[in-house]
Amino acid sequence: MNSGQAGNHCGRPGAQRREDPSNRPGQSTTPDRKLFENGRIEIDEDLPSPESEAEALKADDDCDDDEEEVGDTGSVFAMSTYPSIQPAFQVEYPYQNGMDSDTMCVRHHPTVCSDMAMLTYRTRDSSRTLYAEDFDFVVENGRRYCGDYFLPVDQTEQTRQYVIHQVYLKLFDLELTTVPLEDPRYILDIGTGIGEWAIGMAEKYPQCEVFGTDIAPIQPTHQVPSNVEFHIESAEDEWLRPPDTVDLVHLRNMEGAFSDWRFIYSQAFECIRPGGWIEIIDWEDFFADKNYLSFFPEGSAAYLLVKATMEAAEIAGKPRGAHYLDKDLLVEAGFVDVKETVYDLGIGSRENGSYGKFWLFSIVTGIEPTCLRLLTRDLGWDAQVVRDLCEQVAHETRIVADDPARVDAFVVKLRVMVARKPLVAGQWTAKTLNENGEIKECSGDESTIGDRTVRSEGTM
């Protein structure tokens, strides 16, 4: 969701195909999307400035009226800290007109499908096929969560995820993927979250079937391409997908979402067609000493918060960190052509930079949701203690980002790993020498694995 995948409580694939959105009444609340003539997505240049953070984002009263009141212990990262997003850019919270927000009971009578005993719930303009256990929402400390996933899935977090998606579009020059796709037929987005990436791919490849999976039904239900489907399921259960069919399996910002990444990679390998791709995008130990934490002294609030969060994640059984961004894990699963690219994503405003400030905004407003549930649930911390510490870390982060002497080196490293399923099952790999004498690894179809490229995006 990440937001990313959220926990273990899953449904099964098989969502009904959406009707042609052009035939539906009503106006979409999902962000406007435009296409260049070459089919690339155009970034939303009208995204409001982070300087308008003090302006309140209109609360989603239909969803949150019956949630806990934060009151005097309210977080500085609550709804009012977000920039004012125009309605065209708001991410819709689905099901708000069809269910009670406490019990998640659908008021419409469900239709039971005889083959898989699935329940079809209909919103105003669209339908999804879900299981009853999909509605595993809980409110803790004023934030709404799904399953045991550590990040919230409420409107506030959805808005932050949309801003992050815009940063990715800028970073990748408006491209949605780094793998070479030619007339793909099936694309699978694991942990689709608000669904922006899946929707963008469906628009770019109108002849392709795009499937987005998540455990939380927070994807838009209005005016989305007819070739995109959102399935409520957990990637930690067996993937009920036909083998050797998918052109691309995409995972983005899934750090801390799974307990067994070997299982994830093996399931992806099975459903990817020969010659198809997997792409994993995430931060290289976001809080690692050599990156973010190197700007703060030991014993600082940042160090305390990070170390405690790492400990809590270990207790929860889903460790944080970039340990799963490992070439050997992909090779072990059977992939070849493993390639890694590292981007330095600048934090804060820079000369000629346009989105570093939005990235800073995403980081600062993401400190609390990243830590709150883990520290209160798994370490037993008081919620207000967590919020006070998060506020201090956010303040320290802003100070570094606003320091002209340090801002140019204030970066977070983003790692992009791609790998290909070999054309022939069970192909061997071997080490050979490049012309310059360096060792490279080769596969049986003359592909290479283990390439690593480093790029700098300091103008962000």
Beta bridge partner(s), residue 139: 144
Per-residue model confidence (pLDDT) at position 425: 61
Whether 161 is covered by a domain: the verdict is yes
Per-residue model confidence (pLDDT) at position 293: 82
Per-residue model confidence (pLDDT) at position 132: 37
Query: pLDDT digits over 324-374, tens only?
Result: 999 999 999 999 999 999 998 888 876 556 678 888 899 999 999 999 999
Per-residue model confidence (pLDDT) at position 270: 97
Average pLDDT over residues 139-167: 94
CATH number of the domain within which 360 lies: 3.40.50.150
Residue 437 or residue 400, greater confidence: 400
Whether 8 is covered by a domain: the verdict is no
pLDDT class for 205, splitting at 50, 70, 90?
very high
Whether 5 is covered by a domain: the verdict is no
Whether 175 is covered by a domain: the verdict is yes
Residue 205 is given by DSSP the state -
Q: Does 1 have pLDDT greater than 70?
A: no
Query: pLDDT digits over 247-301, tens only?
Result: 999 999 999 999 999 999 999 999 999 999 999 999 876 555 567 788 888 889 9
Task: Count other C-beta atoms under 10 Å from residue 353's C-beta.
Answer: 17
Average pLDDT over residues 394-407: 90
How many Cα atoms are found within 13 Å in the side-chain-facing hemisphere of 383? Answer: 14
Q: Judging by beta carbons within 10 Å of its beta carbon (0-12, 13-18, 19+), is residue 341 exposed, middle or buried?
A: middle
Report the distance separating Cα 371 and Cα 311, nearest Å. 11
Whether 200 is covered by a domain: the verdict is yes
Choose among 237, 264, 236, 263: nearest CA to 250: 264
Nearest 10 degrees: CA dihedral of 187, 252, 221, 235? 70
Token digits of residue 253: 């910002």
Average pLDDT over residues 25-43: 39
Whether 87 is covered by a domain: the verdict is yes
Average pLDDT over residues 118-132: 35
Choose among 270, 291, 299: nearest CA to 347: 291
Phi, psi of 357 (to 5 degrees): -70, -35
Query: pLDDT digits over 171-198, tens only?
Result: 999 999 999 999 999 999 999 999 999 9
Average pLDDT over residues 395-400: 92
Pick the range with the lowest mean pLDDT from 32-46, 48-62, 86-100, 255-269: 86-100
Token digits of residue 326: 């490992």
Q: Which residue range is the domain that position 425 belongs to?
A: 21-457
Global pTM value:
0.70
Whether 392 is covered by a domain: the verdict is yes
Q: Please count the structural domains in the chain.
A: 1
Ranked by mean pLDDT, the top range of 69-83, 313-327, 352-366, 416-430 is 313-327
Per-residue model confidence (pLDDT) at position 321: 85
Per-residue model confidence (pLDDT) at position 141: 96
Residue tagged 């659908």 (tokens): 106
pLDDT class for 391, splitting at 50, 70, 90?
very high
